Amino acid sequence: MVQRGQVLERMTVVRSGELALEALFASGVAGAERGGPVVLAGPHPRFGGNMDSPVLTELVWALARQGRPTLRFNWRGVGASQGDSRVPVLPAASQPTLDDETSDLVAAIEHHAGGERCSLVGYSFGAAPATRAAIEHPAVERLVLVAPLIDVLAFDWDALVASGVPTAIVCGELDHHAAADAVRKAAGHRLPIRVVAGAGHAFQRGLPELARAVAASL
């Protein structure tokens, strides 16, 4: 039995075409008023992560306290998720299209939202397919990008702004892979950016502040 104030994640399966993707679902803190659902698009082993990233774990807890159901999952070919990954070692000679990963994320959105509008949080590698999904999928009502890898992955900032999906960005002060000034310039100074003091790309420092920033943006 889940007690008031506790968070419990349960294993579930997301179907992405013919593939089964492993995922973790949390309904929110027991006793909290229910908020809107959130899908978390996490890092990739090509850049040192998966759905068990401490960043995603912290975000699940922070969003659960808002009563928000969350879903995090492993990309195809990662962990126990079926399929093969075509993501190259980054940085690559050319920017990958991430069609497969965008399909996985759309499948997670449709699995989790169940016809509702939902929010997306994309961290590191996951920020790129999250941006594309926000542009293309009508169920996405809000987007938060955490440490987007603008130097090695493609972001269509013009299309994102034109989509009208409210978007916020959170970067670490010491993150050389997603430096706040570079991200701000890439986005054309059109999206709000919050900088977490003393944090690098993995947010080994500033993790609670990051979680508060993401929760506040939703």
Q: Rounded to a whole number, what is the distance in angstroms from the first to the last CA of the chain?
A: 29
Q: Which residues contact 181 (CB under 8 A, 6 or more apart)?
A: none
Contact 144, 155 (CB under 8 A): no
Q: Which residue has the tokens 């440490």?
A: 147
Q: What is the pLDDT along the chain (218 residues), one digit of tens a residue?
A: 455 556 789 999 999 999 999 999 998 776 667 889 999 999 999 888 999 999 999 999 999 988 999 999 999 999 999 999 999 888 888 888 899 999 999 999 999 998 899 999 999 999 999 999 999 999 999 999 999 999 999 999 999 999 999 999 999 999 999 999 999 999 999 999 999 999 999 999 999 999 999 999 99
Q: Closest Cα to residue 134, out of 99, 165, 155?
A: 165
Q: How far apart are CA 193 and CA 180, in angstroms?
A: 7
Alpha-helical regions (H) of the chain:
54-64, 99-113, 127-136, 157-163, 180-186, 207-217
> pTM of the predicted model, to two decimals?
0.95
Residue 203 in tokens: 């947010």
Domains in the chain, please, with CATH?
Answer: 9-217 (3.40.50.1820)
Q: Closest Cα to residue 206, out of 183, 175, 177?
A: 175
Q: What is the 3-state secondary structure (H, E, C) of 58-121?
A: HHHHHHHCCCCCEEEECCCCCCCCCCCCCCCCCCCCCCCCCHHHHHHHHHHHHHHHCCCCEEEE
